């Protein structure tokens, strides 16, 4: 593929990704199809360097999860049948341990190649619900936490943009007291899964004032999402050396886990915004969640935006006046909070 002086995109890809899903049995096939269609569309529409991921090691896994939990993953992987790791969301199946190491290895590889490329994207990644000792919400591990810890070891200044239909509770738990700017935009009505992400949660210790939660009213459309994206201007002031983005597309209006009314246009806008904010920063992005017929298109549209191109694949959605009002109030509140960036 011809390379230019433009910023270069690398996509971490292994054909094994086509058959990996940790989602509930009812949407597992949809989840796999999203990844399969993504790479086909991406190869048609984008210029990128395709990078094969390495396998992570057991020691890598133990950096982010307890020994007891890692042993459990190994045990269920050896079973001849599938089941659930948690209360009925996150699946286990024969050979899951090897797949987990491949998924975690994608983050390890992304970090390595970020020395040479401006943007790295991991389509099968962004498992932000898992905590140190347990899985949650289709997430058997927390690959993003692993990446961020490695960046902190290298003394990088990190900002996280976590956009998904669901609050990244596990990632917040890992990094709440860490010197990392964390901005989470998600759907919430007081009880929507995972039931976390209060605006008042601002971080503690070295992470004090660095945690921002922006809950969107359920059924919000593209216009509300655009309002929420204004909070990302904080990233520019923070001036990170790395921006880690979870661009989960499960907020699309046709997603199976109904929550928001977004179109692919919103994800394109997110990509454009991240590109503008990046300046000299490296960007490592993750595909996050997505369980609908337009999920693959939304993933690619994010990358189209990241490449600097605006596209409008669908008719923009319009929110009711109450949702617009709530979003503006939340933005005003978050921007009024103290900022102590150094």
Count of CA atoms in the C-beta half-sphere (13 A) of 252: 29
pLDDT above 60 for 4 = no
Class of domain 9-336: alpha beta
pLDDT above 60 for 267 = yes
Concatenate the DSSP letters of all residues of 202-266 into one string. Answer: ---GGGTT-EEEEEEPTT-BHHHHHHHGGGGHHHHHH--SEEEEEE--TTBTTBSS---BB-HHH
Query: What's the pLDDT tens digit per position in 112-164?
Result: 999 999 999 999 999 999 999 999 999 999 999 999 999 999 999 999 999 99
- What's the whole-model pTM score? 0.96
Query: What's the pLDDT tens digit per position in 272-326?
Result: 999 999 999 999 999 999 999 999 999 999 999 999 999 999 999 999 999 999 9
Integer angstrom CA distances of residue 246 from 49, 68, 86, 336: 20, 28, 23, 25
pLDDT for residue 214: 98
Assigned token pair, 33: 């199809």
Domain residue spans of the chain: 9-336
Integer angstrom CA distances of residue 147 from 38, 55, 134, 296, 337: 23, 14, 18, 24, 28
- Three-state DSSP at 144 gives helix
Query: What's the pLDDT tens digit per position in 195-238?
Result: 999 999 999 999 999 999 999 999 999 999 999 999 999 999 99
């Amino acid at each position: 593929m011809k390379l230019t002086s433009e910023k270069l995109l690398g996509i971490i890809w292994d054909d094994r990704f086509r058959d990996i899903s940790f989602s509930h049995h009812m949407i597992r096939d949809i989840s796999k199809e999203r990844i399969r269609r993504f790479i086909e569309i991406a190869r048609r529409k984008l210029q990128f360097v395709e990078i094969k991921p390495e396998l992570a090691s057991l020691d890598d896994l133990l950096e982010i999860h307890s020994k007891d939990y890692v042993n459990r993953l190994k045990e269920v992987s050896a079973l001849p049948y599938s089941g659930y790791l948690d209360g009925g969301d996150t699946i286990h199946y024969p050979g899951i341990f090897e797949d987990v190491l491949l998924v975690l290895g994608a983050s390890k590889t992304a970090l390595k190649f970020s020395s040479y490329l401006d943007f790295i994207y991991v389509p099968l990644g962004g498992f932000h619900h898992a905590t140190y000792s347990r899985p949650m919400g289709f997430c058997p591990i927390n690959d993003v936490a692993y990446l961020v810890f490695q960046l902190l070891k290298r003394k990088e200044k990190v900002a996280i943009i976590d956009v998904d239909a669901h609050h990244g509770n596990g990632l917040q738990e890992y990094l709440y007291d860490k010197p990392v700017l964390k901005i989470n935009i998600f759907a919430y009505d007081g009880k929507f899964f995972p039931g976390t992400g209060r605006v008042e949660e601002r971080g503690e210790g070295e992470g004090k004032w660095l945690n921002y939660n922006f809950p969107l009213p359920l059924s919000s459309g593209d216009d509300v999402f655009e309002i929420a994206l204004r909070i990302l201007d904080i990233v520019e002031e923070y001036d990170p050396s790395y921006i880690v983005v979870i661009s989960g597309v499960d907020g699309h209006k046709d997603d199976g886990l109904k929550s928001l009314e977004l179109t692919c246009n919103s994800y394109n806008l997110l990509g454009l915004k991240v590109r503008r904010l990046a300046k000299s920063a490296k960007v490592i992005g993750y595909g996050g969640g997505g369980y609908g017929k337009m999920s693959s298109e939304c993933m690619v549209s994010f990358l189209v935006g990241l490449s600097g191109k605006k596209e409008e694949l669908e008719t923009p959605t319009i929110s009711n006046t109450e949702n617009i009002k709530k979003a503006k109030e939340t933005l005003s509140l978050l921007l009024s909070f103290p900022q102590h960036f150094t």
